[in-house]
């Protein structure tokens, strides 16, 4: 379940088209932010488990605030709680940002209706996608327990990482001359390790989570079979192969 804490860093990759120097900035943003936060996670874990016995933290939803309150530092617990709320808010915004850009890319390639490929002429962002994802996330958060959401988010993200690792290996073998603005270092070891690690974490999730994930996967496949497959520009051979060949996205 700790993998849930690392979900969101991949959202940086969805901003590739909006970055000025994506080949330089995206790897720096991904690796840099992930490294900093990993160090902070470890330092906080050492701090909290050194402050009070770790067994007291087992069933706490806010262990850092609880530990500070336990030793009498109530102002510190309040400050950490406010910081946690601010952090959760930024995570929600990042996830909406990333998912709306994924919908934009899918629609532009024909896998979703054309309305999701439009951007606002004023703000230059996909407003329909942002509203759709924001409302959808709010409804799911209001009607589902946090533990269920965390497990589903875990298995969905891990499955995506699994497919990316397999896709990197497959495309390097089948299409070695394909233009690649980004190259995975340590190929094929790193993508292979990504596949193995993702699969291992998925296997350790509860059986009920697999059943729910399977249901969502079936819904996605039905959407693809009844709409995406027939409108896929990649399948029809009309998908631009170069950035210069792309037509501008129509504004709202």
Domain assignment present for residue 249? The answer is no
pTM for this model (two decimals):
0.77
Q: Does residue 16 register a pLDDT over 60?
A: yes
Q: Does residue 69 register a pLDDT over 80?
A: yes
Domain assignment present for residue 163? The answer is no
Query: Which of 3-17, 211-225, 236-250 is least confident?
Result: 236-250
Q: How far apart are alpha carbons 43 and 161 in whole angstroms?
A: 27
The count of structural domains within the chain is 1
Domain assignment present for residue 105? The answer is yes
Domain assignment present for residue 45? The answer is yes
Q: Does residue 106 register a pLDDT over 80?
A: yes
Q: What is the pLDDT of residue 247?
A: 46
Q: What is the pLDDT of residue 107?
A: 92
Q: What is the pLDDT of residue 240?
A: 62
| % of the chain exceeding 90 in pLDDT | 27
Q: Could you tell me the residue range of the domain that residue 134 belongs to?
A: 2-143
Domain assignment present for residue 88? The answer is yes
Q: Does residue 251 register a pLDDT over 60?
A: no
Q: What is the pLDDT of residue 78?
A: 92
């Amino acid at each position: 379940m700790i993998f849930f804490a690392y979900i969101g860093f991949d959202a940086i990759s969805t901003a590739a088209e909006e970055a000025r120097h994506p080949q330089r900035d995206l790897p720096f943003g991904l690796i840099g932010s992930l490294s900093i936060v990993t160090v902070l996670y470890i330092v906080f874990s050492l701090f909290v488990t050194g402050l009070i016995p770790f067994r007291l933290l087992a069933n706490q939803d806010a262990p850092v605030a609880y530990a500070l309150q336990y030793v009498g530092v109530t102002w510190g617990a309040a400050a950490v709680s406010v910081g946690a709320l601010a952090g959760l808010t930024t995570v929600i915004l990042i996830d909406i940002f990333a998912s709306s850009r994924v919908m934009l890319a899918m629609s532009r390639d024909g896998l979703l209706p054309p309305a999701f490929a439009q951007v606002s002429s004023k703000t230059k962002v996909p407003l329909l996608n942002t509203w759709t994802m924001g409302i959808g996330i709010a409804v799911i958060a209001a009607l589902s327990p946090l533990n269920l959401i965390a497990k589903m988010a875990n298995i969905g993200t891990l499955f995506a990482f699994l497919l990316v690792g397999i896709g990197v290996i497959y495309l390097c073998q089948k299409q070695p001359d394909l233009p690649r603005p980004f190259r995975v270092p340590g190929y094929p070891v790193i993508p292979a390790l990504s596949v193995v690690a993702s699969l291992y974490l998925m296997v350790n999730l509860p059986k009920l989570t697999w059943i729910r994930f399977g249901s969502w996967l079936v819904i996605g496949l039905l959407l693809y079979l009844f709409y995406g497959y027939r409108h896929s520009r990649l399948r029809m051979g009309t998908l631009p192969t170069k950035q210069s060949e792309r037509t501008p996205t129509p504004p709202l």
